[in-house]
Amino acid sequence: MLELFARNRVATLFVITLLTFGAIGLAAPGFLSASTLATVMANSLVLMLVSFGTMLVIITRNIDVSSGSVLGLSAAVLGLSLNAGIALPLAIGICIGVGALAGAFNGLLVAGFGVPSIVATLGTLGLYRGLMLSLTGGRWIEALPQSIKALAANLGWGGSVLTLIVLGVFLILWLFLRMTRQGGYFFATGDNREAARHLGIPVRSIVFSAFVGAGACAALAGVVFAAQIGFIPNQAGNGIELKAIAANVLGGVSLLGGVGSAVGVFISVIFLTAIDSALVFLRIPAFWNDFIAGAILLTVLVLDGRVRMAVDRRIRAKRYASHHGAERTKSPSRPSATAAPAIPTPHTAPEAGR
């Protein structure tokens, strides 16, 4: 049981999320209702999209801290185009194009010019925010047309068109990373870049496309933001890049690259958003939100680390246990050529031979 959790971060997180929901439900009856779930889902959409994009970048062992500004910039472009009378589908297309372009510039800096990603995206974090402010003249964009607000309308089952879009992105990402060759290249590039290059994997274009994907995801998050809020403030998306990184870490995406899954990020974002909603239910003042979210993140990570270490110790002990059995039975630890068909591992072979 312990080992399952140590090996499978997603399962751990899933159980913790369920327990949290249960505990809050006990403390505040009425929390466990369909309407709360719908609210949590709706509130998580923006962070979810940004986190998905960030995940792509982190898996390649890079980081993107510019996503909040990309969200703001593309949302501003969306708002300005809508208010200029451009039709909604075209405006959304322009918005996502701007996001992808911003991501492509990040990718160019990192994959093309070899700038470390933290430095490059810190730079563009300021750059894109400044660009947004100069576009809007520092004013909020208000009075967005009804057509975009309608996207956030409840379709009758608690979700909206936006929910469907996000679920679609989730499904595509999951399939892409798990089932396709190119998806495997993302993990390989982050795991061991030199090895990937050696096997003929185009590491630079992989890193580049990860940033383009992150930009497009942040822009889509900008669309969701505009639709849900109904106006676009100057600071739209401010600080969400760090929340997205936290959600990734909590969801089992390794900052060292090469490990992570869309499912983990999905659950982790739901979990973080649920806690925000629960605080409202528990009548805890809103200024505690960040404190509690941070404390929970640290607790989970420390516990997770401890469990992992305990399991590693146990596996190590098991691996060497064979040498300290009753009598030193000499069993072959490596089978000879004739004994080839059955292929035991070097570590389990001595036990099997006994």
Considering the complex, what minimum distance in angstroms separates the CB of residue 229 from other proteins?
39
Residues paired with 232 in a beta bridge: 141
Among 20, 228, 277, 333, binds other proteins (CB under 8 A): 333
Q: Give the total of residues touching other proteins (CB under 8 A).
A: 46
Q: Which is nearer to other proteins, 283 or 323 (CB)?
A: 323
Which phi and psi angles does 141 have, rounded to 5°?
-100, 115
Cα 110 to Cα 32: distance, rounded to the nearest angstrom: 45
Residue placing its CB nearer to other proteins in the complex, 129 or 193: 193
| Cβ distance to other proteins smaller for residue 199 or 302 | 199
Min separation Cβ 298 and other proteins, Å? 24
Q: Residue 158, by phi and psi: left (phi above 0), alpha (psi -120 to 50) or beta?
A: left
The answer to whether 123 contacts other proteins (rule: CB under 8 A) is no
The answer to whether residue 337 forms part of the interface with other proteins (CB under 8 A) is: yes
Shortest approach of other proteins to residue 123 CB, angstroms?
A: 24
Shortest Cβ distance from residue 177 to other proteins (Å)?
Answer: 13
- Residues 47 and 240: beta-carbon distance below 8 Å: yes
- Total Cβ atoms within 10 A of residue 266: 24
Of 147 and 180, the one with the shorter C-beta distance to other proteins is 180
The token duo for 104 is 């492509």
Per-residue burial over 31-55, b if 16 or more Cβ lie within 10 Å, else e, is beeeebbbbbbbbbbbbbbbbbbbb
Structure tokens at 153: 């309308």
Q: Where are the alpha helices (DSSP H) in 230-281?
A: 240-250, 262-281
* 48, 266 contact by CB (below 8 A): yes
Residue 26 in tokens: 């006990």
- Identify residues 187-216 at the interface with other proteins (CB under 8 A): 187-188, 191-192, 194-202
Instruction: Please say whether the beta carbons of 245 and 272 come within 8 A.
Output: no
By the rule CB under 8 A, 13 interacts with other proteins: no
* Closest approach of other proteins to the CB of residue 170, in Å: 22
Min dist CB 192 to other proteins, Å, is 5
What residue type is 19 in one-letter code? L
Phi-psi region of 230 (alpha: psi -120 to 50; beta: other; left: phi over 0): left
Contact 106, 253 (CB under 8 A): no
Among 145, 159, 233, 344, binds other proteins (CB under 8 A): 344
Phi, psi of 301, rounded to the nearest 5 degrees: -65, -40
- Tell which positions 125-184 bind other proteins, by CB under 8 A: 181, 184
Give the nearer residue to other proteins in terms of CB position, either 93 or 202: 202
- Please select the residue that binds other proteins; options are 258, 262, 293, 300, rule is CB under 8 A: 258
343 binds other proteins (CB under 8 A): yes
Nearer to other proteins, 283 or 334 (CB): 334
Task: Tell me which stretch binds other proteins (CB under 8 A): 110-118, 211-219, 234-242, 339-347.
Answer: 339-347
How many whole angstroms separate alpha carbon 49 and alpha carbon 173?
Answer: 11
* Choice from 299, 339, 352, 354 touching other proteins (CB under 8 A): 339
| Stretch 293-332 residues interacting with other proteins (CB under 8 A) | 316, 319-320, 323-324, 328, 330-332
Considering Cα of 94, then 100, then 106, then 112, what sign does the dihedral take? negative
Q: Which residues bind other proteins (CB under 8 A)?
A: 181, 184-185, 187-188, 191-192, 194-202, 254, 258-259, 316, 319-320, 323-324, 328, 330-341, 343-350, 353
